[in-house]
Amino acid sequence: MLHLRNRRILRNNPAPREAADADAPEAGDAEQAVPRMRAARRAAPPKAPIGSTFKDIKSATEALLVTVPKFSGDKDEDTYIQWVEKYVLEANTLRLGRPLTIAVFPRLLTGSARLKYDSLATEEKTDFALLTQALADKLWVNEGKDKAMNELSQATIKSSESVIKFAKRVENLPRL
């Protein structure tokens, strides 16, 4: 099980000791003391979460690399969509949270996928849904071009085929 160091667990802490002593029930006030203390706890604003530390990001990256391989965008076993699904599933299993999930994401990208990530706008990098969609759009365009170029480069005329038929067949191949 993964334990991230230096992570503060947010809890609804009871009121400070001085406030608890001030709200202490008097002899005949026992029935109303408990509801007042509960109301005081609910009224206290929750503490803001602390940002991810380097150790958190490093530990989360190492934990994710056990089950999710790095994605290069070139010749990976999985498509980008399948890889993102694995990434999200593992991040949820490890209970990383949104900020840590976004912080670890670029560390698992290499090659052309990392270059395309670096070219994204800052607004897209701060929201995980926008990030994955924008990166998918950039990767899909190049993937389609590569596939079309491969099909065109591998097209050869057959011995029983006329030049006109070959030209029509090449014309029907996917367009760039």
Instruction: Share the mean pLDDT of the chain.
Output: 74
pLDDT at residue 109, rounded to an integer = 93
**Rounded to whole angstroms, how far apart are CA atoms 153 and 155?**
6
The answer to the question of residue 98 being in a domain is yes
pLDDT 10s digits, 44-99: 443 334 567 888 889 988 989 899 999 887 776 678 888 999 999 999 999 988 99
The answer to the question of residue 84 being in a domain is yes
The answer to the question of residue 35 being in a domain is no
Mean pLDDT (whole number) for 13-23: 48
How many structural domains compose the chain?
1
The answer to the question of residue 93 being in a domain is yes
The residue segments making up the domain with residue 81 are: 54-143
pLDDT at residue 5, rounded to an integer = 53
Q: CA triplet 13, 100, 4: central angle to 5 degrees? A: 65
| Comparison of pLDDT for 13 and 139, the residue scoring more | 139
pLDDT at residue 111, rounded to an integer = 87
What does the buried/exposed string (b/e) look like for 152-171 if buried means 16 or more CB atoms within 10 Å of the residue's CB?
Answer: eeeeeeeeeeeeeeeeeeee
- The first and second tokens of residue 121, run together, are 């706008």
Spatial CB neighbours of 16, under 8 Å, sequence gap ≥ 6: none
pLDDT at residue 107, rounded to an integer = 93
Note the pTM of the prediction, 2 decimals. 0.53
pLDDT at 4 over 60: no
The answer to the question of residue 175 being in a domain is no
Mean pLDDT (whole number) for 92-115: 90
The answer to whether residues 144 and 167 touch, using CB atoms and an 8 Å cutoff, is no
pLDDT 10s digits, 119-135: 988 898 989 999 999 89
The answer to the question of residue 14 being in a domain is no
- The first and second tokens of residue 64, run together, are 């994710």
pLDDT 10s digits, 147-171: 666 777 778 888 888 888 888 888 8
